[in-house]
Structure 1
Amino acid sequence: MGIANSTDFLEGGKIMFEKTHFMKTQDLLERGMNNSVFKRKIISDNIANADVPHFKRSEVIFESMIKRAIESEKIEALKEVPTQISDERHISFFKPLDYREVQPKANIDYLTTMRADGNNVDVEKEVVEASNSQMQYMMMTERLNQNYRDLKQVMRMA
């Protein structure tokens, strides 16, 4: 994991630090942490409404969208000939998704029902999801902190 490569320099040797893999990793970790906080709010709402008739649980969609965006960037990078549209009326063959535009979204699950009153909240499942979300948050926090410690160490050596 290099901090900078030859394409990351501006004139005068100034590093465009925000375009490095390090900063992309940090940004993805921060987005993941924000998603975990959002997910915990949605799960809390689901649990709080577990006894409300006809309440439909929500779930957060984020990880799959981020994965799709990153994979689309890889596909674009592997292309030998980049596709460009010369006229806005042309149909694009492939447009890579920018991971920075991906935001967590809450989707309401209208398709399942857990009880006769129409409620579909399974409290045990929600508690497990909350626990998993908390563990993910803690792991991302630790990784983010370790990355900053590594950067601090590199800067001391320079």
Structure 2
Amino acid sequence: MNLINNSTNALLQTAMSSAMTRQKTIANNIANADTPNYKAKKTVFAHELERASDAHRLQSFRTDSRHFEFGGSDNIPSARVVERSNTQMNHNGNNVDIDIEMADLAQNQIYYNTLIDRMNGRFNSIRTVLGQGR
């Protein structure tokens, strides 16, 4: 059992990377709130991470080629940026809604902090097991 390079840590790392991508996307939207014809973007990753975590939930060791294979691969999908289409266009062709962006920014910050806390907890557990976490 590998304590550091395992599917849970890989999933947490991908989630943190995706949250950083989302932070950059939101920051770009806020910076371009008054830019004519700018189309707001959003980062999509929550459903992909959920699907990846479902794939890693059940992993098996096959002792016979006739056994069913279940579980997932180690390919964890990353975030992707798409244009936001659920907001209304302003008079200048821009569809950035600053209230939505600020709410998304706060939500993403809480999500990222939660991931950091979870990763710290995992590493603190490893330190405790190794006798370094007195």
Normalising by structure 2, we get a TM-score of 0.77
2:14/2:76 contact within 8 Å kept: no
Query: What is the number of equivalent residue pairs in this alignment?
Result: 127
AA in 2 matched with 1:134: Q
Give me the identity figure in percent. 24
Partner of 1:48: 31
Structure 1: state its 5+ residue gaps: 1-15, 84-94
Q: C-alpha separation between the residues in 2 aligned to 1:62 and 1:131?
A: 17
Is the 2:52–2:76 contact (alpha carbons within 8 Å) kept by the matching residues of 1? no
The amino acid across from 1:39 in the alignment is: R
Aligned to 1:63: 46
> Is 2:98 the counterpart of 1:123?
yes
RMSD: 2.9
What displacement does 1:113 show? 2.9
Tell me the equivalent position of 1:102: 77
Partner Cα distance (1:140, 1:30) in 2: 9
Equivalent residue number for residue 91 of structure 1: none
Instruction: Give me the whole-angstrom Cα distance separating, in 2, the residues matched to 1:26 and 1:45.
Output: 29
Moved over 6 A (4+): none
Between Structure 1 and Structure 2, which shows a larger proportion of helix residues?
Answer: 1
Separation (CA, whole Å) in 2 of partners of 1:140 and 1:67: 14
1:89-131 CA-to-partner distances (Å, cap 9, x unmatched) read xxxxxx9764634111001125643323321110111011111
Unaligned runs of 5+ in 2: 61-65
1:26 is the counterpart of 2:9: yes
Note closer, same or farther for the CA distance 1:127–1:99 as it changes in structure 2 (3 Å cut): farther
Larger Rg: 1
In the alignment, residue 106 of structure 2 is paired with which amino acid? S
